[in-house]
A and B are shown apart, each in its own frame.
Chain A
Amino acid sequence: DQQVKQNSPSLSVQEGRISILNCDYTNSMFDYFLWYKKYPAEGPTFLISISSIKDKNEDGRFTVFLNKSAKHLSLHIVPSQPGDSAVYFCAASERGQNFVFGPGTRLSVLP
């Protein structure tokens, strides 16, 4: 039973537009969340985090939104660039311990 779900295996977006990647979780004890980006043949790269005391965290073109009641978070990338094309993993944890990763969403940003 997947505790962290990313229901879209892939997403294509035009350059300059907004990319929205979604993540749902089932464990109500999760209170700290991370987004990672992974290029082929490389390790994941940390992008942005959010804890349950916030509902939004912003870092440059990346914004993560957390809806605790819906157990849902999303990553917004604005504007999307071709270099953003990668697999994006959502990860969730209870107090930052033992992160559980989602299956990933492959984002393709088309020029």
Chain B
Amino acid sequence: DTEVTQTPKHLVMGMTNKKSLKCEQHMGHRAMYWYKQKAKKPPELMFVYSYEKLSINESVPSRFSPECPNSSLLNLHLHALQPEDSALYLCASSQDPQGRGYGYTFGSGTRLTVV
């Protein structure tokens, strides 16, 4: 298995909803990442987990809450989002256990729309 799987592929949520994005990989990668990508913009790093511990939080608002239950799973919990949070949310993983980002594998993303 050489893929990063993200579910759901599409999500529409209201501003008062609570939802979660899921990411899974079985490549033995010990670093996992959440990126946010707005239309026609490059991906922006949100969080980095290394050995299931949060190592980088790029000043992301608290309405985004990451969780890494084990080495294969990464969740992003969403609560009280704003319409401007609508974007493609990408998960990635890499072999490098220090989370330095060598050899990324990206998932295909979750297209989130906040209404």
- The interface on chain B, measured as residues whose beta carbon lies within 8 A of the other chain's beta carbons, has a size of 26
In contact, A99 and B41 (Cβ under 8 angstroms): no
In contact, A45 and B42 (Cβ under 8 angstroms): no
The main secondary structure of chain A at its interface with chain B is strand
The main secondary structure of chain B at its interface with chain A is loop
Contact with B along A93-111 (1 / 0, CB 8 A): 1011111011110000000
In contact, B42 and A96 (Cβ under 8 angstroms): no
Taking A43-B107, A43-B109 as given, write out 15 further A-B residue pairs in contact, using a Cβ cutoff of 8 Å, ordered by the A residue number.
A36-B104, A41-B108, A41-B111, A42-B108, A43-B92, A44-B43, A49-B103, A91-B42, A93-B100, A93-B101, A97-B99, A98-B45, A99-B45, A101-B42, A103-B41
Interface residues of B (CB under 8 A from A): 4, 6, 40-45, 56, 58, 90-92, 96, 99-109, 111
24 contacts between A and B (CB under 8 A): A41-B111, A42-B108, A42-B109, A43-B4, A43-B6, A43-B108, A44-B90, A44-B106, A45-B106, A46-B104, A46-B105, A46-B106, A49-B103, A93-B100, A95-B100, A96-B96, A96-B100, A96-B101, A96-B102, A97-B99, A98-B45, A98-B58, A101-B43, A101-B44
